Amino acid sequence: MVAAWPCVAASVPAARHDLRAVLADWGVAELCDDAELVLSELLTNAVNAGGHEREIETRYERGTVGVRLEIADGSPADPDMRNAALDAESGRGLALVHAVTGGRWGFADDPVTGGKRVWARVVGSVGAGRTVSHGAAPAPRTRRRPKHLRQDPAAVTWAREKCELTRRALADAGGISPVLMGEIESGWRSATPPNLRRIADVLGCPVTALERQRPRAGRGER
């Protein structure tokens, strides 16, 4: 599936919603969290690198295992994966893509537009193989989703969309980096109490509305 988007920040959440619908239609909705996170990072990079006069193309392909995402922009600059620390709040966009995809991403020049195409394959679990192509990059440390989250990612997404805010707009208003905001909303990082308070303040809701509810211990049958 191919689509074209204006080179503006608002295209990121729109494309993410589009991808979610496509994955559900393909019967692989379980890939949504990882695929949306990867798409958000790649598309944000394309928006930041490209000129507003050019559109950005997204292409989704279903494979025998997982889904392949491809982003084409008009910038000839190669993607730069900085090997930032895992606890840093910025500079980890492609490092996060590398971690989520297990190194299944790469890029190539586009002779038609003079720009480039960046692709990534999401299979639902990180494998051992690494397939970064067209430019070597240092591999970040292996990362896994935290088992215990302070926030409920679905509640954060619901509250943000109800306020008609993009993820970047929420991040900017709360003084949180867009990458960190993406990790919080996608469940790749547990929000700290101060950050969750900032998010709640921007969304105009109590912190408890965004917290993951712990199951209550039930009383035994009589």
Give the total number of structural domains in the chain: 2
Order of all β-strands in the sheet with 105-109: 2-6, 55-62, 67-73, 116-122, 105-109
Per the structure, the complete domain to which residue 198 belongs is given by 153-209
Q: Span 12-38, mean pLDDT?
A: 90
**What letter does residue 9 receive in the DSSP assignment?**
T
Give residue-wise pLDDT tens across range 165-211.
888 789 888 888 777 888 888 887 889 999 999 999 999 999 999 99
3-state secondary structure of 15: helix
Conformation bin of residue 64: beta by default, left when phi > 0, alpha when psi is -120 to 50: alpha
What is the pLDDT, as a whole number, of residue 199? 95
Which CATH number fits the domain that encloses residue 80?
A: 3.30.565.10
Does the pLDDT of residue 49 top 70, yes or no? yes
48 or 155, higher pLDDT: 155
- Is residue 22 a part of any domain in this protein? yes
pTM: 0.57
What is the pLDDT, as a whole number, of residue 51? 62
What is the pLDDT, as a whole number, of residue 185? 85
79 or 69, higher pLDDT: 69
Which CATH number fits the domain that encloses residue 167?
A: 1.10.260.40
Confidence label for 214 from pLDDT (cuts 50, 70 and 90): low
User: How far apart are alpha carbons 144 and 134 in whole angstroms?
Assistant: 26
Q: Please identify which residue in the block is written with the tokens 């988007």.
A: 5
The 10 Å Cβ neighbour count of residue 140 is 19
Share of the chain above pLDDT 70, in %: 79
- 70 and 174, same domain (yes or no): no
- What does pLDDT average to over the chain? 79
Q: Are 47 and 8 in contact (CB under 8 A)?
A: yes
24 or 214, higher pLDDT: 24
- 14 and 110, same domain (yes or no): yes
Share of the chain above pLDDT 90, in %: 24
The two beta strands, 116-122 and 67-73, are antiparallel
- Is residue 219 a part of any domain in this protein? no
Give residue-wise pLDDT tens across range 78-97.
777 654 444 444 445 788 88
